[in-house]
Structure 1
Amino acid sequence: MAVKNLKSLLLFLVGMLIYYAPLNASPFLQDSDQDYVEYKGEVINSNNEDVIVNAHLSVNETNISTVTNSEGKFSLKVPKGSSPATVNISYLGYQSKNLPLSYFKPRGTIIYLEPVVEELSEVKVYEAGDARRLVRNMLDNRGDNYIDDPTQMTAFYRESISKGNRNVSLSEAVVKIHKKPYSDFGEEDIELVKARKTADYERLDTLALKLRGGPFNTLFIDVMKYPDYLFYERDLDNYEFSFEEPTQIDNRYLYVVSFEDMNKNMPWFFGTLFIDAETQSLVRAKLNMNVDNRRAATNMFVNKKPGGTKVYPIEVMYDIDYHQQDGKWYFGYSNAQLLFVVNWKRKLFNSRYLVDSEMAVTNWHPQSEDRIKKRDNFINKRVVMADDISGFTDLQFWGSNNIIEPDKSIQNAIEKIQENIQ
């Protein structure tokens, strides 16, 4: 089953070693503060003024991009002299917009997107309703439809661990992803460029430390690069596939295919795939794992736990977005949310920990080197970052790097960190 293939991936969540390489050591030079302009704003539904989460903003004719946070807010940094550039704003089910960079203000830019209201009659049922064949073609064509050359991606990674409503750990990093071709089955490397991390150890018990993850957790849910982690073509008969109401993004029509694993002996996957009608490329995936089988789920996620406790996940969710550039799709954004329950034998109430990880690709270019020489700041898949709170006191810590704008709860946590170490 595909779930068995996931076990080695998911156990990254239980690593206990600490990454001690200097967090700011990097061969990549950062632009000075004078070399870029930062624009901030919000993307909103024009019909009801709801915020649009994970909307994609990209500077046309470049590979610079960012996404909105959970409150619809964004921060976009572009090099000085980019005018008269234009910015594309898009999100699934909305009409895309192209706006001149002159439209944006350093603070308070409001962008309204209109929901798609036209009938999507151009999307015909694929091959007499054969959704399974569409998914099989989607997997078969990945070498043609996705960037198939070695690529170096710059990405921003954020991971928070919360206990109840309180953030108890926060990690942020700019990383370099050495991405292999989509037709290549080799695993990829991540290089740490700049990072900061803190944890409230009075509220974060030893068990929670074993649930920490890292950037590989969000990279390895790239379904098109690692199809074995979800399903592979020889296993498609084990799944049910069906068409849902089609949609569109960036003026492209999309098939919407729901799927569900028919073998429910182990924790099993279900979710939705959004597939480009023209190229049969995966544009987005929303994945869920059913973890009602607590014993099996515990064996999958928890490698070690204190005596007298029961630990099990109750929610496991993944989101993956792909973006297009010059006729090729590439991994653009991923999010992983895992909610764990910890029952202590002699405690009346249990504890709940939410591990929320996200990664957004903010720039990329072809990688000229055939073989990458690993340096000290390459991240091992089974270690996590050491604490370094000094970065939280530096308001210009990220420099010219594009990041995901922190939402209110994360911003409050950062402000408290700054207050405590001043």
Structure 2
Amino acid sequence: LSTCLELDGIRNSFDFLSRGAGIEDYSYRLTDIVSYDDESVFEIEFGQREDAEIPMFMGSMFINTTDYALVKAEFMINPAYLQKMKGSFISNPSRDFTTWPVSVKYSVSYRKIGDRYFLNHVRGDLEFQSKQKKRLFNAVFSVFFEMAVTSASTENVTRFDREELAPAHDVFSRTIKDYDPVFWGNQDFLKPEENLLQALKNMKVRLQEFSQ
């Protein structure tokens, strides 16, 4: 949860958007105008300049052509410098294994409610390689985290009570090996491989049809 909230680049300022926070080390290129949520957006590619020798991001951001708001960003840590950030992703390395990150990708999107934009969806996909001592081949494994905001309200907003708050640094993890669609019948459930945002949209449509 903490990582998802930290990836809110509007609140915490992406360095590829903030003046004085490294923006001079990036190069930008307008590549297209595409449709996003039925509105036109600029697609802008960015990457670190050749003379920047520290790990930085590269990817694409999508900016509304009307109000110039950031609606989505898809980016990754430059693979050429990923080894320098090994300690940021592997906190307790094993003596018998050598493990390193090979790909770190993020996606963040925002949704307009009224005249303001709110965090809508966050996802991170990380891939690692690991080699055990005296073994010839490496093992590859992946991990992802994801958060979707299902609703937001701007009226009569009050703070949550302490007992209603989830600890930001707790890890919610579960390995799902298989599932039985017959067991769930016509009830809504999330398949492990299903796109979270699309699944939630489908559930919302079905709930609206049910209430009519």
For residue 243 of structure 1, what is the amino acid of its counterpart?
A: L
Which residues of 2 match residues 107-186 of structure 1 at below 5 A?
none
Aligned to 1:248: 35
Question: Residue 294 of structure 1: CA displacement?
Answer: 5.2
- Take 2:125 and 2:85, find their aligned partners in 1: how far apart are those partners? 15
- Counterpart amino acid of 1:221? L
Note the aligned Cα RMSD (angstroms): 3.0
2:122 corresponds to 1:368? no
What residue number does 2:58 align with? Answer: 270
Task: Report what 1:192 is aligned to.
Answer: none
2:48 aligns with 261
Match of 2:67 among 279, 290, 296: 279
Could you report, residue by residue, the CA deviation over 1:273-313 in whole angstroms, capped at 9, with x for unpaired residues? Answer: 10001111001111011233354121222122111322111
Rounded Cα–Cα distance in structure 1 between residues aligned with 2:31 and 2:174: 45
- Distance (Å, rounded) in 1 between the aligned partners of 2:75 and 2:131: 27
Asked if the contact 1:339–1:352 (Cα under 8 Å) also holds between the matched residues in 2, the reply is: yes
Is 1:226 the equivalent of 2:24? Answer: no
- State the distance in 2 between where 1:310 and 1:229 align: 31
Distance 1:295 1:271, change over 3 A: closer
Amino-acid identity (%): 18
Structure 2: which amino acid aligns with 1:346?
A: K
Q: Which runs of 5+ in 2 are unaligned?
A: 196-212
Q: Distance in 2 between matches of 1:311 and 1:358?
A: 23
Post-superposition shift, 1:376?
A: 7.2
1:295-334 equivalences under 5 Å are 295-334=83-122
Secondary structure of 2:30 counterpart: strand
Question: Given residue 219 of structure 1, which amino acid in structure 2 is its aligned partner?
Answer: L
1:353, CA displacement in angstroms?
Answer: 1.7
Partner SS, residue 293 of structure 1: helix
How far the C-alpha of 1:217 sits from its partner, in A, is 2.4
Q: Match for residue 191 of structure 2?
A: 406
Could you tell me whether the CA contact under 8 Å between 1:338 and 1:355 is conserved in 2? Answer: yes
Task: Name the SS for the 2:77 alignment partner.
Answer: strand
8 A Cα contact 1:217 1:336, kept in partner: no
Higher relative contact order (CA 8 A, sep 6+): 1
Q: State the 1:380 CA deviation.
A: 3.9
- Report the TM-score, using the length of structure 1 for normalisation: 0.39
> Aligned partners of 2:173 and 2:38: how far apart in 1?
44
Contact residue 223 and residue 230 of structure 1 kept, 8 A: no
Q: Aligned pair in 2 of structure 1 residues 387, 246: CA closer, same or farther (>3 Å)?
A: closer
Is residue 293 from structure 1 mapped to residue 81 from structure 2 by the alignment?
Answer: yes
Please tell me whether residue 353 in structure 1 is matched to residue 138 in structure 2.
no
* Cα distance between partner residues in 1 of 2:131 and 2:87: 16
Partner letter of residue 303 of structure 1? S
Pick from 160, 171, 180 the counterpart of residue 384 of structure 1: 171
The residue number in structure 1 matching 2:24 is 237
Residue by residue over 1:206-243, the C-alpha shift from the partner in whole angstroms, topping out at 9 and shown as x without a partner, is: xxxxxxxxx22223212112115655221321211111
Equivalents in 2 of 1:238, 1:246: separation in Å?
A: 25
Are the equivalent residues in 1 in contact too, given 2:4–2:146 (CA < 8 A)? yes
Matches of residues 71-82 of structure 1 in structure 2 within 5 Å?
A: none
Q: Which residue of 2 aligns with 1:184?
A: none
Relative to structure 1, the CA distance from residue 362 to residue 225 in structure 2 (aligned partners, 3 Å threshold; closer, same or farther) is: same
- Contact 1:318-1:337 at 8 Å conserved across structures: yes
Please identify the structure whose Cα radius of gyration is greater.
1
| Contact map agreement 1:291 1:313 (CA 8 A) in 2 | no
Report the count of equivalent residues: 186
